Amino acid sequence: MRMKRLMLATMVAVGLVGCTEEAPKTHAERPIAIAIHGGAGTITRENMSPEREVLFRQALTYATEAGYAVLEDGGSSVDAVQAAIQMMEESPLFNAGRGAVYTYEGRHELDASIMLGATGEAGAVAGVGNIRSPIAAARAVMEQSRHVMLSGSGAEEFARYVGLEQVSNTYFNTTERYEQLQQALERLRAREATGDQIAFEQSWEPAFNMGTVGAVALDSHGNLAAGTSTGGMTAKRWGRIGDAPVIGAGTWADNESCAVSATGHGEYFIRFHVAADICSRVKYQGKSIAEAGNEVIHNVLLPAGGTGGVIIVDNKGNISMPFNTEGMYRASKSNSTELSVGIYGPEQQ
Amino acid sequence: MRMKRLMLATMVAVGLVGCTEEAPKTHAERPIAIAIHGGAGTITRENMSPEREVLFRQALTYATEAGYAVLEDGGSSVDAVQAAIQMMEESPLFNAGRGAVYTYEGRHELDASIMLGATGEAGAVAGVGNIRSPIAAARAVMEQSRHVMLSGSGAEEFARYVGLEQVSNTYFNTTERYEQLQQALERLRAREATGDQIAFEQSWEPAFNMGTVGAVALDSHGNLAAGTSTGGMTAKRWGRIGDAPVIGAGTWADNESCAVSATGHGEYFIRFHVAADICSRVKYQGKSIAEAGNEVIHNVLLPAGGTGGVIIVDNKGNISMPFNTEGMYRASKSNSTELSVGIYGPEQQ
């Protein structure tokens, strides 16, 4: 397939075909692009061992290349997004799939969503604990149900019904996340002991709220797609749903403007419908994705107290990845830019 | 209180006070407005008995007046929205609270959300079966938790924790909705019998998807608020979440533009983030709420197959209530317009 396109491109270049009219652009000439994130937060060089940094850079590289290979092969943006996200779901490094954080009760409740820029079709699952790949479940909701958002045991029943791979909830266990839960519970219980229930409930901290994975892509057919998958917030309780499965908040794609996947303190991303608002500014105000993304992340979210970041790709293959935290695990590649992998903020690059 | 303001207004008018500077506007002079809906769908004169129409008009009138009284008394838009919605939740006429539709399994799973235009604070509950007033639960999430969206048994646990009134799930039973479920199940099972599972899953129909209640208001302090409450879709399954608890889809409020509550085929309202998109067109394109609302309801939703409507109030007290179905239960009142109650489309008024 790749060989065929290369031959065609060569033939066009040397004038063997398409002499009478302008040759139609081949897939390889049209812009293709992918960007991914693996969570934003207090990620600094001081807190990161060189060995661990290598692991993150490798994982981000593999996920980006997996998605890019789909695009280069003429595949769809939604396939590229799913391929990249599934690689991160399988890695214990990221808070999504294996590696998901623990709830207050010591379980795992995962969320994911996916959206097509061509049609606005979308799917999402919230609070699922027995589906190996939540992003695959979100896609099944989009393609095989009339619904957009399914939750809890009902969503798990749907996943069984359509034949997705099931796992035990303990499949998502990792020692690191378990230790994070213990630290979170210690802090929460110290406040619970004061007897002030409202203060206790309000003691969840942004620090418990790190990590999500996501991908956005533009394919050679001109179609955008976005997807997001997460384990949510450490020690989350009461069936809390964050922004990752909320279309417009954590995920948005519209061929007329851009595709966005978000990571950060989910409550703020819902309240400011961050993903869709960035694309609205592009669509209605004619802003670039860099302008629109910076405005929302730095001028809207940050003053309100919302921390996090987004990855954005527009319908020309431009990529922007603004964040207002110390760092954000991120990577991108397009047919006009080399693979780029980043972890820290600009001052630490 | 009302008498006092009237006296003050009279004194200002005849020049007894406020002679040296322009008198500050009293509450009564500033615009206040409320609009409510009780669901959209195939509501026609032919299908409605005169007795039933009287019941709906009364219920819509009472709910509007309950909300308006809060505003007239100088109260907040969020209190007005909650007062109006709670009256509709208590009525078995509407698909929200008592009168909620049944799920596939013969239970009730209710959703609600609420949002403040001043701060973008928001709260939502999804899939709750034991809370008497879902809109009160959404407000408790907004005010007494750090979260925005809680779901299922976790949300019910939170509601108990903050002391909201609990009821048995059978509290929501009504004969009419039970009969609607039986009709829906009959149609679904006829298709299930064909053995085509995907076709079966896709056989939910817009007709199962009628009804939601909502309110939007502008108070004398210049603050907008919006809220929505629903029992969802008849025969819904798999923990389906519709647009009502999705901030940006079913509910949106922003003092810089408008407040919106939606009703209709929820999946489309999520995919096109209808409530927030209307306000984005007002904010970023300078459109009126009538223009923005008509564009989204008639030019975006309808061509995609999405049926329903919205109620909108802007920060000047203008009201717009576009819908693309045969009818929408609706009512509004402001200090510049009389109470208006509507059920059918323009051609049947």
Q: Give the residue from A212, A236, A183 showing the smallest Cα distance to B147.
A: A236
Residue B21: pLDDT over 50 = no
Q: Give the E-state strand segments of A90-129 in sequence order.
A: 110-116, 122-128
Rounded Cα distance between B246 and B151, Å, is 12
Q: Which of these, B273, B41, B236, lies nearest to B129 by C-alpha position?
A: B236
Separation CA B300–CA B298 (nearest Å): 6
Coil/strand/helix, residue B7: helix
Top residue of A141, A200, A202, A240 to mutate, by most chain B CBs within 10 Å, is A240
Question: Per the domain annotation, does B162 fall within a domain?
Answer: yes
Share of chain B above pLDDT 70, in %: 86
Q: For an interface test with B, give the residue of A109, A273, A295 to mutate (most B CBs within 10 A).
A: A273
Q: Are B270 and A148 inside 8 Å of each other by CB?
A: yes
What's the Cα-to-Cα distance from A94 to each of A50, A55, A231, A259, B348, rounded to whole Å?
A: 17, 11, 9, 22, 57
How far is the C-alpha of B203 from the C-alpha of A146, rounded, in Å? 8
Nearest to B41 by CA among B327, B343, B262: B327
Query: For residue A6, what pLDDT is reported?
Result: 41
Please report the residues numbered 143 through 162 in chain A whose beta carbons come closer than 8 angstroms to any beta carbon of chain B: 144-155, 157-158, 161
What phi and psi, each to the nearest 5 degrees, are found at residue B132? -60, -45
**How many CB pairs below 8 Å do chains A and B form together?**
154
**pLDDT for position B101:** 92
Residue B2 has what pLDDT? 45
| Cα separation, A276 vs A272, whole angstroms | 9
Residues 6+ apart with CB under 8 A from B313: B33, B34, B35, B216, B217, B218, B224, B258, B259, B289, B319
Cα–Cα distances (Å) from A141 to A150, A245, B58, B151, B163, in that order, read 7, 12, 40, 18, 35
Lowest mean pLDDT among A5-19, A179-193, A235-249, B114-128: A5-19
Candidates A109, A198, A241, partner chain B, best to mutate (most B CBs within 10 A): A241
A202 has a pLDDT exceeding 70: no
pLDDT at B41: 86
- Residue A197 pLDDT class (50, 70, 90 cuts): low
Check A271 against B146: CB less than 8 A apart.
no
pLDDT digits (tens, 9 = 90+) for A78-104: 999 999 999 999 999 999 999 999 998
Strand order across the A258-264 sheet: A251-253, A258-264, A308-314, A319-320
Q: Does the beta carbon of B285 lie under 8 angstroms from any beta carbon of chain A?
A: yes
Q: Is the pLDDT of residue B334 over 90?
A: yes
d(CA A342, CA A339): 10
User: Of B120, B201, B241, which is closest to A151 when you measure between CB atoms?
Assistant: B241
Per-residue pLDDT tens over the stretch B189-200: 877 776 655 555
What pLDDT is attached to residue A10? 38
Nearest Cα of chain B lies from the Cα of A37 at a distance, in angstroms, of 23
pTM assigned to the model: 0.89
Residue pair B319/B332 in contact by the 8 Å Cβ criterion: yes
Give a yes or no: residue A261 inside a domain.
yes
Q: Which residues of B fall within a CB distance of 8 Å from A204? A: 146-147
Q: Is residue A6 part of a domain?
A: no
Residue B286 domain-assigned (yes or no): yes
* Among B residues 32-61, those touching chain A with beta carbons less than 8 Å apart: none
Q: Where do we find the tokens 């039970």?
A: B178
Structure confidence at residue B201 (pLDDT): 53
Count of beta carbons in the 10 Å neighbourhood of residue B300: 16
Closest CB from B148, B153, B197 relative to A271: B148
State mean pLDDT over A263-289: 97
In a domain, B233, yes or no: yes
| Residue B13 maps to a domain | no
Whether the ipTM is more than 0.90: the answer is: no
Predicted local confidence at residue A47, as pLDDT: 83
Tell me the three-class secondary structure of B53-104, residue by residue.
HHHHHHHHHHHHHHHHHHHHCCCCHHHHHHHHHHHHHHCCCCCCCCCCCCEC
The pLDDT, as a whole number, for residue A191 is 73
Reading the block at residue A163, the tokens are 């034949």
In this complex, which of A144, A150, A242 lies closest to B239 when CB atoms are compared? A150
DSSP letter, residue B285: H
Distances (CA, A) of A22 to A9, A17, A18, A308, B275: 13, 10, 6, 45, 44
Residue A276 has its nearest CB partner, among B153, B239, B273, at B273
Q: How many CA atoms lie within 13 A of A291 on its CB side?
A: 8
Nearest to B126 among A151, A242, A281 (CB): A151
A207 has a pLDDT exceeding 80: no
Pairing of strands B149-151, B122-128: parallel
Residue B170 within a domain = yes
Q: What is the CATH number of the domain that holds B174?
A: 3.60.20.30
The residue type of A232 is: G
Contacts of A272 in chain B (CB under 8 A): 120
Partner A contacted by B276 (CB < 8 A): yes
If you average pLDDT over residues B296-325, what whole number do you get?
97
Could you tell me the two tokens for A256?
A: 């007329």
Angle value at C-alpha B188, between B184 and B190, nearest 5 degrees: 120
State the pLDDT confidence band at A199, using cuts at 50, 70 and 90. Answer: low
Task: Count how many domains chain A has.
Answer: 1
B146 with A120: Cβ contact below 8 A: no
Q: Tell me the mean pLDDT in the region B256-284.
A: 97
Minimal-distance CA residue of chain B relative to A303: B119
Residue A130 belongs to a domain: yes
Is B14's pLDDT higher than 60? no
Give the domain extent around B92: 33-344
CB A232 within 8 A of CB A242: yes
Q: What one-character DSSP code corresponds to residue A207?
A: G
Nearest-CA distance from B136 to chain A in Å? Answer: 16
Is A212 known to be catalytic? yes
